[in-house]
Structure 1
Amino acid sequence: MTTTTIDTSATSLLRFATAGSVDDGKSTLVGRLLHDSKSVLADQLEAVETASRNRGQQAPDLALLTDGLRAEREQGITIDVAYRYFATPRRRFILADTPGHVQYTRNMVTGASTAELTIILVDARNGVVEQTRRHAAVAALLRVPHIVLAVNKMDLVDHAEPVFARIAEEFTAYATQLGLPEVTAIPISALNGDNVVEPSAHMDWYGGPTVLEHLETVPVGTDPSDAPARFPVQYVIRPQTAAHPDYRGYAGQIASGVLRVGDPVTVLPSGLTSTITGIDALGRAMDVAWAPQSVTLLLADDVDISRGDLITPTAAAPTTTQDVEATICHLHERPLKVGDRVLLKHTTRTVKAIVKALPYRIDLTHDLAHQDLPEELGVNDIGTVVLRISEPLPLDPYAVSRQTGSFLLIDPADGTTLTAGMAGEAFARNASAEGAAHGDGWDF
């Protein structure tokens, strides 16, 4: 069997998102990053130059590189999440440019949910505003590890250091209240390119990195050994051919941690145990695999495993529960109310659930005050929910694992995604053996 070591080169990919209030210059910043890092194709730049001339602009409007929807170009705003892929000699990037309008806060949740870094833009003339605080709160709830405060349009305040220092101090103080672990403040002019890719000649008082330099050097990724291993099963492979009459493998993507041949494992929610006897990846055998690799596991015992089950090392198995309290961001125009019957999708498993309580809504406009027992949560609202699930789930706290601590609530009637959830600690009552569904299938 081939011996495999953990290759940390996967950390050369950085997923990051941009956020900020309307007209703070997010799309211009992204366009400047792409343009000045030589990541724009000639025909793309030509199309932007033509569109800019048609609008009476002398210089190319780099925001058009990301505002791809016709409505976005007509209104001069970002509506949808625009994903862009680019690379420099030092690192590859996946960028999510998210909207600034309050009604599109849910899109910011989507873009930042997988980000390791978020750039929050602030207009130097306006400073920290309500939407700035809202985006910082969302980043904190999603536990984004790194935050960049980009104080934009410094050219419109004469590149004044006191203006930048005041905004950076105010935002950092608010970020500390939220528990954000790291904030890097950078003064920029996205329109002119100051401190975006190249250092600014107008702000010699600033001695820190440019935006791109920080993106290229910020530590990303973690040692897979630091997290407990979680393997959601996506597919059971049983070819039953003459060459492989007894082959039975469990395919999926490792959500976190490291799995090794010889590891004792537990299958959840059934609680059955076995041992890993083989790991296959792209047709070759391995003795160790780690997140986020996609592999097929072979087990010593012919246990009952299907899509949606979770394979985890026995020594680090999560608790299964039917009662969940979670922080949620409601994404749909249809409000979420107590008594609603929904589907809960966790990794590869989907189960029925009932909304038992809405303890509070978070007021993002007034320092995260709690509004107790709201009647409902509307679109873009962030609050907490108590759910009763039809069968036990191995949910990790979101603070432990962003992958296996998150879930979606879905409308069972039409499959619409309603809510994004981040699980808290499991309730003390573990209902792994109680509360079997009965009646209409919704009374747990």
Structure 2
Amino acid sequence: MDLLRFITAGSVDDGKSTLIGRLLYDSKSILADQLEAIERATKGRDDGEIDLALLTDGLRSEREQGITIDVAYRYFQTPARKFIIVDAPGHIQYTRNMVTGASNCQLAVVLVDARHGVVEQTRRHSLIASLLGIPHIVVAVNKMDLMGYSQDVFSDICIQYAELAKNLNVPNVTYIPLSALNGDNVVDKSSAMPWYEGPTLLEHLETVEITDVISDEGKEKPGRFPVQYVIRPQTADLPDYRGYAGKITSGTLRKGDSITVLPSGETSTIDAIEIADEHFDEASAPMSVVLHLADDRDISRGDLIVRSDSLPVSSQTVEAMLCWMDTKEFKVGNKYVLQVGTARTRCSVREIAYQLNVNTYEQKEGVDNLVLNDLAKVVLRTAQPVSFDPYTQNRTTGGAILIDETSNVTVGALMLVGEA
């Protein structure tokens, strides 16, 4: 049974948490004690209904204010598929949380309030989903009950979003009218919208094809292995060897493969692949393994082991799309720590090539600084060569973060483009 990770995004009060609650409730994926807890929390409401948003809004401040502040994760499964749901905040000041949550997702459910149509956060979250390489977007037009389940309202919003989608790199967009509060077209078909002939949200989630469309069709992904730890047994009851532990983030590694260690450029051959004290001839992403090499090489945490027939980009001048996630300004000349996989190196900001306008998607040049939640293309100069694949080819080795040197706080998310 395969696994689909998807995120719910959109503007504040579009009903993201309620939609997830309804999805879990109607698919009978709520434990009895969870249901009892939210029934107690909403006891005494005038309408007698339980607040399904409380299934994901677990923080006290979230319940007091009726908003989502932090990313919430929920797991459920149906006979067709397993799911991990990421509930992202809608407020603009929490956009960085959305970036964090969406980074590993294969599908984004972008909620649109039927009363308001496409708004700024709809555009912002859709742009981020596109930049992060999410191949599927579901435009869930929520609160259709407040608009009399009007087909014209739904059609107008579809037209609005289609215009927006022309500027996005998202190959698959699906439109579904629903009411999360009443359960229309979430799990069960809605009798109130007989004009809609498409699938319900759950039907679409169960049947959507999970593919990594940003990799080359029909080609095996390049083998990538960031070293996390060097194993060197020092006890008499274990053989003396040097192993390199980590997780294969891309492709397949096989015994006998010629490999290159980056950034040093040293070469060797895979002598053995160890998993839980057993040896295998090959292993693929996302397996965690210990590699044994035929030669002793100077390898440490942060090095990248790759197959020699598919080398990544290696450069000290890196071009990247940046989502700025800190209250301090991002300026040319600022210094940060750049982390790609397990590798860290100091870097400085050489240039802000342009800033993206989240409303028009236009590129604004001549920008001197960025503020919280800004999106831009930037050029970084690193102290040591950085090895990576362009994000459009490989999400795992093309993603990176910027870390503040003094506070050690993650201040930026990067989609690496290439060598500048």
TM range (shorter): over 0.9
Equivalents in 2 of 1:19, 1:339: separation in Å?
34
| Shift in Å, 1:419 | 0.6
State the partner residue of 1:415: 408
| Aligned partner of residue 222 in structure 2, secondary structure | coil
State the partner residue of 2:137: 147
Match of 1:232 among 226, 230, 244: 226
AA matched with 2:10: G
Match of 1:284 among 278, 282, 286: 278
| Shift in Å, 1:243 | 4.2
Check whether the contact 2:313–2:418 (CA below 8 A) recurs between aligned residues: no
AA matched with 2:369: E
Give aligned pairs, total. Answer: 416
Check whether the contact 2:73–2:84 (CA below 8 A) recurs between aligned residues: yes
State the partner residue of 1:370: 363
| Aligned partner of residue 324 in structure 1, secondary structure | strand
State the partner residue of 2:418: 425
Check whether the contact 2:167–2:361 (CA below 8 A) recurs between aligned residues: no
Equivalents in 2 of 1:403, 1:319: separation in Å?
14
State the partner residue of 2:149: 159
1:112-135 deviations in whole A, cap 9, x for unaligned?
Answer: 111100000001121111211111
Equivalents in 1 of 2:54, 2:218: separation in Å?
39
| Shift in Å, 1:155 | 1.1
Change (3 A) 1:319 1:87: same
| Structure 2: gaps of 5 or more residues | none
1:153-302 matched pairs, under 5 angstroms: 153-222=143-212, 226-302=220-296
Task: Determine whether 1:385 maps to 2:375.
Answer: no
Equivalents in 2 of 1:418, 1:159: separation in Å?
43
| Structure 1: gaps of 5 or more residues | 1-8, 428-444
Task: Determine whether 1:341 maps to 2:335.
Answer: yes
1:62-85 deviations in whole A, cap 9, x for unaligned?
Answer: 011111111111111111111111
Equivalents in 2 of 1:52, 1:224: separation in Å?
52
| Shift in Å, 1:244 | 3.5
Check whether the contact 1:224–1:257 (CA below 8 A) recurs between aligned residues: no
Match of 1:311 among 305, 316, 324: 305
| Shift in Å, 1:173 | 2.6
1:401-412 matched pairs, under 5 angstroms: 401-412=394-405
| Aligned partner of residue 163 in structure 1, secondary structure | helix
**Aligned-pair Cα RMSD in Å:** 1.5
| Shift in Å, 1:143 | 1.0
Equivalents in 1 of 2:318, 2:392: separation in Å?
14
Aligned residues with identical type, % of pairs: 56
| Shift in Å, 1:57 | 4.4
| Aligned partner of residue 166 in structure 2, secondary structure | helix
State the partner residue of 1:434: none
1:1-16 matched pairs, under 5 angstroms: 12-16=2-6
| Shift in Å, 1:285 | 1.3
AA matched with 2:374: D
Change (3 A) 1:226 1:205: farther
